[in-house]
Amino acid sequence: MLSIRTGERLAVAVVEAIHTGDVQALKRLLAENPGLATARMGGDHVDDACVGGTMSRTLLHVATDWPGHFPNGAATVVTLVEAGADVNARFVGPHTETPLHWAASSNDVEVLDALLDAGADIEAPGAVIAGGTPLADAVAFGQWEAARRLVARGATTPLREAAALGLMERVERHWAGDDPPTPDQTTHACWYACHGGQQRAAQYLLERGADLNWVSTWDRLTPLDAARRSGHDQLVEWLRGQGGKSASELHQGLVRDES
């Protein structure tokens, strides 16, 4: 497999072609450099994403890199796949995300569709969010168009993703069997519902024992904080009426109790 460093002339040229949407230039580079479509790319320094070091990515990762929405993105995906790129190739490093994870994380629905049409695994694990699927990334990062498109294309919806999207039938289905969600799962789902601005889901989960003032382990926010950060002011007011507090208010109360 061809390995190239980001500072090499070939790497610079192919990244420029992809990010500017110059599909003809990309096709020319692929024709002139056998193996380029499946190449892995890394950095020039030990502390970069370096080939031979600890991290590398593929050209499909380049096509889906943040912030996404590069010109002719879908055509670029088709060109790379037709040249032999592995649509399910994984990032090598601290996570194992696929290009579909990256498209979901940047809300690039056009490229997301192109990847799925080319055979991308919609349920691929490895996300930076708890090792989950592309849907886990889309929901956690508030990329709602991508999240809803993934659901429309057949993605499964764990409880917290269903809650964040307000998919009440799917939320309620988790209580339909003999193995209902645990208290922790219910609380996490309620946090996600507030992150997504879904009052009905939040209320349903609170009625089933969710902790209204749980502080998330990943960003130290309560459900009220999550709703406020996402701009859901009406939900914030409703949570206040239920006794919801911010993490700072909880901390101040704890300090007063200890003094």
Q: Bigger pLDDT: 177 or 97?
A: 97
Other beta carbons within 10 angstroms of residue 204's beta carbon come to 20
pLDDT at 253: 76
H and E: helices and strands count for the chain: 15, 3
φ, ψ of residue 115 to 5 degrees: the values are: -65, -45
**Whole-angstrom distance, CA of residue 114 vs CA of residue 119:** 9
- What average pLDDT does the segment 60-71 reach? 98
Residue 51 has pLDDT above 50, yes or no: no
Q: Bigger pLDDT: 53 or 186?
A: 186
Bridging pattern class, strands 40-42 and 3-5: parallel
pLDDT at 1: 83
Residues 141, 178 contacting (CB under 8 angstroms): no
Binned at pLDDT 50, 70 and 90, residue 254 comes out as low
**Whole-angstrom distance, CA of residue 200 vs CA of residue 165:** 11
**Whole-angstrom distance, CA of residue 7 vs CA of residue 221:** 40
The pair of structure tokens assigned to 21 is: 């949407």
The pair of structure tokens assigned to 15 is: 């990244």
Where do the H-state alpha helices sit in 181-244?
183-195, 199-206, 223-229, 233-241
pLDDT at 37: 98
Write the pLDDT tens digit of every residue in 142-185: 999 999 999 999 999 999 999 999 999 999 999 998 999 999 99
Residue 32 has pLDDT above 60, yes or no: yes
Fold of 3-43+54-156: 1.25.40
Domain positions in the chain are: 3-43+54-156, 164-258
Nearest to 2 by CA among 84, 63, 71: 84
**Whole-angstrom distance, CA of residue 62 vs CA of residue 43:** 13
Residues 150, 103 contacting (CB under 8 angstroms): no
Write the pLDDT tens digit of every residue in 102-134: 999 999 999 999 999 999 999 999 999 999 999
Give the DSSP letter string of 2-62. -EEETTSHHHHHHHHHHHHT-HHHHHHHHHHSTTGGG-EEE-SSTTSS-TTTT-BEEHHHH
CATH architecture type of domain 164-258: Alpha Horseshoe (1.25)
Write the pLDDT tens digit of every residue in 85-94: 999 999 999 9
- What average pLDDT does the segment 241-251 reach? 96
Write the pLDDT tens digit of every residue in 187-239: 999 999 999 999 999 999 999 999 999 999 999 999 999 999 999 999 999 99
Amino acid at 116: L
**Whole-angstrom distance, CA of residue 104 vs CA of residue 150:** 8
pLDDT at 256: 56
